[in-house]
Structure 1
Amino acid sequence: MALVPLPRSARVLIVMMSAVGDAVHVLPVVTALKRHDPTLHITWVLQPGPASLVRGHPGVDEIVIFERKGGWRAFADVRRKLAGRRFDVVLDLQVYFKASIVTALAQAPVKLGFDRARARDWNWLVTGPRIPPHAPQHVQDQYFEFLDALGVAYEPVEWNLGPWQHEQAARDAFHAGLSRPSACLVIGSTHPEKEWGAERWAALADALWDRYGLQPVLAGGRSERELETEREIMARARHPIVSTLGVPFRELVGIIDGSALTVSLDTGPMHISVALNTPTIALMGYTNPKRTGPYRYRELIVDAYGDPGEDYPVSIEKRPGRTSRITGEQVLEKVEIWARTYQ
């Protein structure tokens, strides 16, 4: 029985504002809600980065931008945008302070949030009712707990991330310009502890070219660290490499969607790749793969987070210095699994 029965044609406000990876995890929630009742109206409070990825999604009726760089003015702006509006349900999927403020600003009789043990920054003070306590699990499954509370089925899990129809020609044109199938290498992250050595990326790129007939395509942002990694990879690699660093997220969707394989650091595009059903080799060391790793393609995870034979629990514990332990041989073992299973 549902904890909070969802009224037909309800107006739903989703509060999950920040990381791209988290936004990707919210998409199956949106898709399931609209599959349950196509007449729902879904509004989502998002920061500009993830908003640029989500905009145009068929399940999202409206995006309210939260300009984090605006400081306290960002909250005043959201308050103005939400003023005079009433929602039937708020889904507070984010437990940090800024999300608590936005949740408090929204007008709704139901503000569904995490149980008190999992809520942070006093988030539980602004929600009610709260989903039942649950043992730690993958973030994607945690979000599905909200659907359980609403009595909404989420199988099959669908992201519907695109490419949208008007983006498909650009996707096809990009890949038509390559001489061979592509392997997308996501070389950058916002956190140095998640990064991998440029010399290893270069060696991997050459192996993908020589052994598997793949064209390496670099993906990521244009931070100074990523640009330096790009320069060193280009200098070391023996074969041509295509770089797409800094392309908008919607262009990246097309690049990944048309790729035969993605090899990615622990970052947002890793989750984008999974959502697009592109086989994804994830390099995990700093954060717990059981909690924030790829939701699919678990057999392709290069797991440096745990020690050999360790059955570690799901947790938010960070383990510095682990990603750098990953060897090229370990990654190529996963590439071989990909070649046997998905080619």
Structure 2
Amino acid sequence: MPPIAQAFQNARHILIRGVNWLGDAVMSTPAVMRLREACPQASLTLLCHEKLGPLWQGHPAVNQVLTFSSEDSAWKVGLRLARERFDAAVIFPNSPRSALQVWLARVPVRVGMAAPWRNWMLTHPLPPRPGHVTMRKRTPEEIHRLQAADKPPGPPPPPAAHHLYHYLHIVAAVGARAEPLAPTIAVAPEVEQHIQNRLGTLAGPLVGLCPGAEYGPAKRWPREQFIELAKALQTRWQAEIILLGGHHDAPITGAIAKAVGGRLRDWAGQTSLAELAAVLKLCRVVVANDSGPMHLAAGVGTPVVALFGSTSPYLTGPGLPGETRHQVLYRQAPCSPCFLRECPADFRCLKELSAPEVLQAVTKVLGGG
């Protein structure tokens, strides 16, 4: 057994420095479960930003959750961690700050991805995994040139390019299995019951629509298409529509709610993270842009119809790569994926996805009972 794996086998208290974004956190759950499997004797503590703390509370693979705020300095976080006397740590983010927090905690074994400005803070900096694909942003000039050439897109990246494998690569270095698992998020029964009571009696299937994407408008399917889809779901399935997202999504959901009317609930910005997970679990199907709620819906076991624009489903698709429960709609343009927040061209990657096409994908789920 390699020394690094032996160190984790002998560790009694292991720190996992979690990631800072909701979607990434969900994609990291398979690695946390594999680490739990590899180190059954250890107490696993997960450190994350306070906004994601509820996501990990009650997760079966984690013994303790520690959080920090945006105002907390790395020094303050490190001193707090030092009191816990961790034996070893895995660091999921690639940032210098996350490595500095763990270095300041004087954890003797510190494992994470090699990157400039932080390698000296790691005892074991790891090389990139096989199949790694960099998410490089295209320039506006490059996008216009590719669209003018109008060549078909190249072959898709290998399955191992999915970001879920990034975290599995890190825990595999310390002796855990690298085989993927479906991302899994636990929902507390009392929170689920609270949401059921809040929803009341439903006259039709509950369909969640998540029209936002915090990254930027290049990820967002047009609002008009969501309106058309919601009206069609009400007509075709007598569906109970619920609009979900954060406070920043309220202007979008408010406009959709006003245009659609009928059996529609606008809960954007009106749920905690734990409540959002619960309502997503209670939906029969969720239609979402590439976003945190998309990953969260998959993590609680709900079928997802995922709409991809500027990003790549091969890298950040919902659930376990290749899982047939979820359906990905991706109209790959010559310039796709560009990874930009705003489209400098004609936004064809998402404009060409029609409401009838998305309705057909939803119908595959609802029609299956």
Structure 1 CA distance for aligned equivalents of residues 351 and 77 of structure 2: 41
* AA at the equivalent of 1:93: F
Structure 1 CA distance for aligned equivalents of residues 180 and 314 of structure 2: 20
When normalised by structure 1's length, the TM-score is 0.85
Aligned match of 1:58: 60
User: Are 1:161 and 2:160 matched, yes or no?
Assistant: no
SS in 2 for 1:150: coil
SS in 1 for 2:15: strand
Q: Is the 8 A contact 1:52 1:249 kept in 2?
A: yes
CA change 1:323–1:111 in 2 (3 A) is farther
* AA at the equivalent of 1:291: L
Let me know the Cα RMSD of the aligned residues: 2.6
Residue 173 of structure 2 is aligned with which of 146, 149, 165? Answer: 149
Give a deviation string over 1:152-211, Cα, whole Å, max 9, x none: 236572544222233232243245432222011112221222223222111111111222
* AA at the equivalent of 2:303: P
Residue 323 of structure 1 is aligned with which of 350, 360, 368? Answer: 350
The alpha carbon displacement at 1:3 in A equals 6.8
Question: How many residues were matched structurally?
Answer: 328
Give a deviation string over 1:204-246, Cα, whole Å, max 9, x none: 11111222332111000112xx222122212221532111112
Q: Is the 8 A contact 2:168 2:180 kept in 1?
A: no
CA change 1:14–1:122 in 2 (3 A) is same
The alpha carbon displacement at 1:325 in A equals 4.2
Aligned match of 2:138: none
User: Are 1:282 and 2:301 matched, yes or no?
Assistant: no
User: Are 1:222 and 2:247 matched, yes or no?
Assistant: yes
Give a deviation string over 1:232-275, Cα, whole Å, max 9, x none: 21222153211111210111111111110000111111111111
Aligned match of 1:111: 110
SS in 2 for 1:277: coil
Give a deviation string over 1:258-307, Cα, whole Å, max 9, x none: 11000011111111111111100111112221111213456611113x23
CA change 1:19–1:112 in 2 (3 A) is same
Aligned match of 2:28: 26
User: Are 1:45 and 2:70 matched, yes or no?
Assistant: no
Deviates more, 1:255-264 or 1:155-164: 155-164
Q: Is the 8 A contact 1:195 1:324 kept in 2?
A: no
* Identity fraction in percent: 24
Q: Is the 8 A contact 1:64 1:78 kept in 2?
A: no
User: Are 1:94 and 2:87 matched, yes or no?
Assistant: no
SS in 2 for 1:52: helix
Q: Is the 8 A contact 1:186 1:218 kept in 2?
A: yes
SS in 1 for 2:4: coil
Q: Is the 8 A contact 1:274 1:280 kept in 2?
A: yes
Give a deviation string over 1:118-161, Cα, whole Å, max 9, x none: x3x53333223233432211111111112322222365725442
The alpha carbon displacement at 1:47 in A equals 0.9
User: Are 1:126 and 2:121 matched, yes or no?
Assistant: yes
Aligned match of 2:75: 76
The one of the two structures with greater contact order (alpha-carbon pairs below 8 A, sep at least 6) is 2
CA change 1:302–1:219 in 2 (3 A) is same
Deviates more, 1:249-258 or 1:192-201: 192-201
Q: Is the 8 A contact 1:33 1:40 kept in 2?
A: no
Structure 1 CA distance for aligned equivalents of residues 225 and 317 of structure 2: 21
CA change 1:159–1:9 in 2 (3 A) is farther
Deviates more, 1:167-176 or 1:21-30: 167-176
Aligned match of 1:231: 254
Q: Structure 2, unaligned stretches of length 5 or more?
A: 133-160
Q: Is the 8 A contact 1:16 1:22 kept in 2?
A: no
Give a deviation string over 1:85-122, Cα, whole Å, max 9, x none: 432221111102322322322322321112x4xx3x53
User: Are 1:301 and 2:301 matched, yes or no?
Assistant: no
Structure 2 CA distance for aligned equivalents of residues 36 and 176 of structure 1: 43
Q: Is the 8 A contact 1:82 1:106 kept in 2?
A: yes
